[in-house]
Chain A
């Protein structure tokens, strides 16, 4: 049973560029959440997708957008990258009718130069 997968593993971009990160949820899960984890801090909630709609959103600017596909996989897009966007981006999946236990993928390490 495959767990949560994310791609790419690492990414280096320059300020002002745009980036797309991808996530495939654990088998049987229908909800995908995205988190940003800066070095030495706890993960911060970006948004959550269910039934291809953004269900909840954290305190992140509109530069951060996402999408969920019919197969439950998801993308996170960040436009106009800033140096402060450098972080580990974590995708988590869960089953909406369960306990909301979220299973995390390996993450994408984004470096903005």
Chain B
């Protein structure tokens, strides 16, 4: 059974600092997705990573994928309060399009 784990589960960091969220998955997967969820809200798609070595950047967030290590990272640069949210990674495979989500990382940016 495919398992997706994120760490840390909770992250409290100061504005202006850099940090990385890690996403590990247990079996071969073809695609990896990052989502953001604000409290009481739905999920917002951030990145779609389709191949080994893929790197995507949007503002202060950068995501990368290493399929050989079964690892994706979400790097936050010079954090600002607006980035406070829960971040989920999810994986799927060709022919098996259900998304399997990680445990989530609850990020709190402290002024």
- Which of A41, A48, A90, A94 sits near B104, CB closer than 8 Å? A41
A107 CA to B39 CA, complexed, in Å = 12
B96 touching A104, Cβ below 8 Å: no
CA distance A31 to B92 in the complex (A): 15
Among candidates B42, B44, B45, B98, residue contacting A33 with C-beta atoms closer than 8 Å: B98
Nearest CB of A to B106, in Å: 9
CA distance A40 to B103 in the complex (A): 9
Q: What is the interface of chain A mostly: helix, strand, loop, or mixed?
A: strand
Q: Which residues in B have their C-beta under 8 angstroms from that of A56? A: 96-98
Q: Are A100 and B45 in contact (CB under 8 A)?
A: no
Chain A 86-100 interface residues, beta-carbon cutoff 8 Å to B: 90, 92, 94, 99-100
A93 → B minimal CB distance (Å):
11
- B50 near A106 (CB under 8 angstroms)? no
B75 in the interface (beta carbon within 8 A)? no
List residues of A whose CB falls within 8 A of some B CB.
31, 33, 35, 41-45, 48, 55-56, 58, 90, 92, 94, 99-107
